[in-house]
Amino acid sequence: MRSVKFLLAAGAASLISGAVFAADLPIAPPPAYFPPPPPQDFGGWYLRGDIGMSNQRVKSLHNVLYDDPGISVENKGLGFDSAGIYGVGVGYTFNNWLRGDVTGEWRGKANFHGSDIVYFNGAPLGTDTYTASKSEWLILANAYVDLGTWWHITPFVGAGVGMSRNTISSFTDIGGPVYSAAFGDKASKWNFAWAVHAGLAYQVTPSMTVELAYRYVNLGNAASGDLYTYDGTNNRYNPMEFRDITSHDVKLGVRWSLNPAPVYLPPPPPLVTKG
């Protein structure tokens, strides 16, 4: 019996000493506090680069000789081959739905081909077959509206205005049925230009966004140099005018944000203790 009492007394003493020791331990600090991220600031500068392909049209050709009394001309099959587009720009994002940029691009040489039938007092007089090359420098100031974001994809629309420097080179005019030939020197012309945009943007990282876009652009008019016949004859100033040049463009672009929004770590899980 005495041994049982001794064991009980020893166990009680051990419990009391353990409780006193635990009371002397330092209290665990509370879990670290992570403040919530501040409201996102959408403003910021960005750089952009674009490549693409053009699909161009011209409404009509005109020459001063077409204004002679009794002369009328019917254009046939006027068109351009596709050509590359290479552009750069700088822009600013104002908020989560509005941004704008200024872009400059080189539109590579597109081969031109076409023909016409010349009439005099309603009777066919002859035909002309044309070839040439056309290229442009295009500068636009653009504004875009982002229409919302789903799964990092943002559809957008936009519009732009600016100037286009249209260059015609290697112009030739081969006439028939009586053979004739005329050639135009290289010439450039500045025009008012405007465009409308539509596309999809995908945010790859906080600082990089990829765009796939369609653009309709009106490039204004262009003209060759003065036309000379094969023997060098030029009776008067008569460049060939290209009237109302338009293009349906497809572009792939990348935007680099110069001040991307910071990335915040999520708060740690709450401290769980057992009673």
Map out the domains of the chain as residue ranges: 44-257
Task: Name the token pair of 156.
Answer: 């957008």
When pLDDT is cut at 50, 70 and 90, the band that residue 230 belongs to is: confident
The pLDDT tens digits of the residues spanning 97-128 come to 999 999 999 999 999 999 999 998 888 888 99
Q: Read off the pLDDT of each residue in 224-237 and give the average, rounded to a whole number.
A: 78
CATH architecture of 44-257: Beta Barrel (2.40)
Q: pLDDT: is 259 or 4 the higher one?
A: 259
pLDDT of residue 15: 44
pLDDT of residue 268: 60
Over 50: is that where the pLDDT of 193 sits? yes
Contact 65, 118 (CB under 8 A): no
pLDDT of residue 34: 52
Give the separation between CA 244 and CA 222, rounded to whole angstroms. Answer: 8
pLDDT of residue 22: 46
Over 80: is that where the pLDDT of 275 sits? no
- Model-level pTM? 0.77
> At which residue do the structure tokens 């040049």 appear?
245
Over 60: is that where the pLDDT of 17 sits? no
Q: Please tell me the number of Cα atoms within 13 Å of 53 on its side-chain side.
A: 4
Q: Read off the pLDDT of each residue in 46-74 and give the average, rounded to a whole number.
A: 92
pLDDT of residue 20: 46
